[in-house]
């Protein structure tokens, strides 16, 4: 959805979106998908509140509702006391939680998280994974998470292991916990 495919078809919610225009894809991303990037991708000289509100610029939500909606998202990740702080005033874990709040702002069905704990210490990583797991279990969000860390993958219900760009294994957690696959050790 962020890159143009070189071949094949792409289906989203049962609909072939391969031929969608860039505007149609942008609308789909904005309304149905939240992205959490490893590098946070926050605007440097912009407050937490304004960073989280940014996707609303492209939404159909009335501007009068933006602050309240952003505050709720920020509160959901435990950063309400940091509303007016800029990214340079935040820890790595706090930056990632702001990125999660921004990903949630339009109430997406799916969240793509690229190495969400990759730049974090273990304590911050556990806090971020706790938030992501809550989103899945309590709010029913589908989370597609990319990681190289076994401790992060252990939060998943299903693990798809890629090797050289191809699916090497596809394991449900209950089976995974009893397997001796090399990457689990």
Q: Which residues of the chain have pLDDT under 50?
A: 175-185
What is the maximal distance between C-alpha atoms in the chain?
Answer: 54
* pLDDT 10s digits, 13-23: 899 998 899 89
Task: Give the domains, in start order, of the chain with CATH numbers.
Answer: 31-154 (3.40.50.300)
Q: What is the DSSP string of 61-128?
A: S-GGGHHHHHHHHHHHTT-GGGTT--GGGS-HHHHHHHHHHHHHTT--SEEEEESTTTTS-HHHHHHH
- 32 and 109 Cβ atoms separated by less than 8 Å: yes
């Amino acid at each position: 959805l962020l890159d143009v495919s070189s071949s094949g078809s792409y289906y989203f919610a049962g609909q072939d979106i391969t031929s969608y225009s860039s505007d149609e894809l942008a609308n789909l991303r904005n309304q149905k998908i939240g992205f959490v990037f490893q590098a946070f991708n926050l605007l440097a000289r912009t407050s937490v509140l304004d960073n989280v509100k940014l996707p609303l610029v492209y939404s159909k939500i009335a501007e009068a509702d933006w602050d309240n909606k952003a505050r709720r998202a920020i509160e959901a990740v435990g950063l309400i006391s940091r509303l007016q702080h800029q990214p340079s005033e935040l820890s790595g874990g706090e930056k990632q939680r702001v990125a999660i709040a921004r990903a949630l702002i339009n109430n997406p069905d799916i969240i793509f998280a690229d190495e969400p704990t990759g730049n974090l210490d273990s304590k911050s990583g556990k806090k971020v994974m706790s938030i992501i797991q809550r989103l899945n279990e309590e709010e029913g969000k589908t989370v597609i998470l990319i990681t190289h860390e076994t401790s992060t993958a252990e939060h998943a219900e299903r693990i798809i292991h890629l090797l050289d760009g191809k699916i090497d294994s596809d394991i449900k957690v209950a089976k995974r916990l009893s397997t001796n696959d090399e990457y689990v050790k």
